[in-house]
Amino acid sequence: MSQPAREFIVKIIELSLWSSDILLGHLLLFLLTLPMMIPRRPSQQIRAPIMIKYGIIYGLTIILFIALIALPIIFESSLRIHSSCTLCHSI
């Protein structure tokens, strides 16, 4: 195998690992939302201005993540998927 071909394969593997890390990290973050919001003691509560500022960003991120998963499933019939794509039909 030539060096450019090897570098191409290594780069594809690295990018797929990186993207799976991003998805797994966001999934864990979303699953830990409720335990993260419950304070242990009243003195550890998050101040209101910070909660409002980052709460809006966090809520938009959750909505975007859910939309990226749900919209292709909802509009599956209207999407033009080629009939020769066996992987597309198995998903």
pTM attached to this predicted model: 0.51
Residues 48 and 91 reside in one and the same domain: yes
Give the structural domain span for 15.
1-38
Helices 48-74 and 3-31 sit at what angle, rounded to 10 degrees? 120
**pLDDT 10s digit of each residue in the chain, 91 long?**
788 889 998 898 888 888 888 888 888 888 888 777 776 666 666 667 777 788 888 889 889 988 988 888 888 777 766 566 676 666 6
Residues 52 and 68 reside in one and the same domain: yes
The percent of the chain in helix, strand and coil, each rounded to the nearest 5, is 75, 0, 25
Residues 29 and 59 reside in one and the same domain: no
Alpha carbon distance 57, 38 (integer Å): 19
Q: Are 79 and 71 in contact (CB under 8 A)?
A: no
